[in-house]
Homo-oligomer: A and B are copies of this chain.
Amino acid sequence: SRSISLAVIPGDGIGQEVVSEGLKVLSAVLPQDVKLETKTYDFGAKRWHETGETLTDSDLARLREHDAILLGAIGDPSVPSGVLERGFLLKLRFAFDHHVNLRPGKLLPGVKSPLAGDREIDFVVVREGTEGPYAGNGGVLRAGTPHEVATEVSVNTAFGIERVVRDAYARAQARPRKKLTLVHKNNVLVHAGHLWKNIFDRVGQEFPEVTTDYLHVDAATIFFVTQPERFDVIVTDNLFGDILTDLAAAITGGIGLAASGNINPSGEFPSMFEPVHGSAPDIAGQGKADPTATVLSVALLLQHLGYGEQAARIEAAVAADLAERGDAQRSTSAIGDALAARVSG
């Protein structure tokens, strides 16, 4: 009989609330013969305040034993900016080599986009997750003086780019439109940009059926609002991917719906799935948060673990729920209940 060992990290703010609903839907959709074992970890602001720890080596060793990780949200205004982001979220992505940061941008029927007109938006952003400007490679000189210099080094390797570019081609190849767009800024960031472009062109020879396209990041943001239909699969670096996926979430109904997977395709380390939204401390504990992004992240998790049929059932349930949602406000758990009922139906 099969089993899934899942590490659950509710985290801060609304994290706890949305993760509960994600687990509710996960339990409802799994076949009877699959044993789900979950273990909850208390990472986040509270633990940092109490112990000064964000993510230790022994935490990583324990997390590594699981098949996958489900995360709610990490971050709180009481913690200085950067401490939990660099010390937990990015540390985990880097330690577990989550180089494929997968973020679908799909406008589902019934969902209101801030864009005018009827739009058909259905793309996937493959964001590199382990290098670029996120490498944490920078520093300061003459701190606190009028002559201070602060640097941030974007580190890009042929190894790191090639694997994520190849992953993106494979995803494009598997989709009906078979189109892949590289987004960078190779007219200014010439060193990194040309390395990306060269590898993109070379790997493309292995995928003759995939149509390719290159856009500078500034031009890409224009097309996101004027012509989002043109995108199928997008591959881009860590920072451009961060920016574009928030914009993608905005045009497809908001970060309340945006799912993401931090994937290690080799399976050497467990992959981590999380909603794109943050901890939203202003609405935490009020049962107001929309758990849909977390539920869709559970679908990505199932897909990754080989439960494609169950993933598709979650996506269909979300689509049906959204189509009927209207303007009525429902609580976090009401939405979770509705989705759980649909997937087990």
Contacts and interface: CB of A to CB of B under 8 A. Distances in A.
Contact of A153 (B153, B157, B225, B251): B153
A192 B114 contact: no
A18 B153 CA distance: 38
Interface in A144-160: 145-159
A249 interface: yes
B152 A157 contact: no
B255 A222 contact: yes
B157 A148 contact: yes
For A116, A190, A195, which residue has the most chain B Cβ atoms within 10 angstroms? Answer: A190
A75 B186 CA distance: 14
A225 to B, nearest CB: 5
Nearest to A238: B188
Contact of A82 (B114, B158, B190): B190
| Identical subunits present | 2
Interface string A212-233: 0000011101101110000000
A167 interface: no
A95 interface: no
Contacts of A158: 145-149
A98 interface: no
A217 B133 CA distance: 14
A192 B116 contact: no
B114 A226 contact: yes
Contact of A225 (B90, B114, B187): B114
In the complex, the 10 A-B pairs of residues with the closest C-beta atoms, listed nearest first: A218-B246, A148-B158, A150-B191, A85-B187, A150-B195, A116-B116, A222-B250, A152-B154, A221-B247, A82-B190
25 contacts: A81-B187, A81-B193, A81-B197, A82-B187, A82-B194, A85-B188, A113-B116, A114-B116, A138-B191, A138-B192, A140-B191, A146-B158, A147-B157, A149-B156, A149-B158, A151-B156, A151-B191, A151-B192, A152-B189, A185-B242, A217-B243, A218-B247, A219-B246, A222-B249, A225-B225
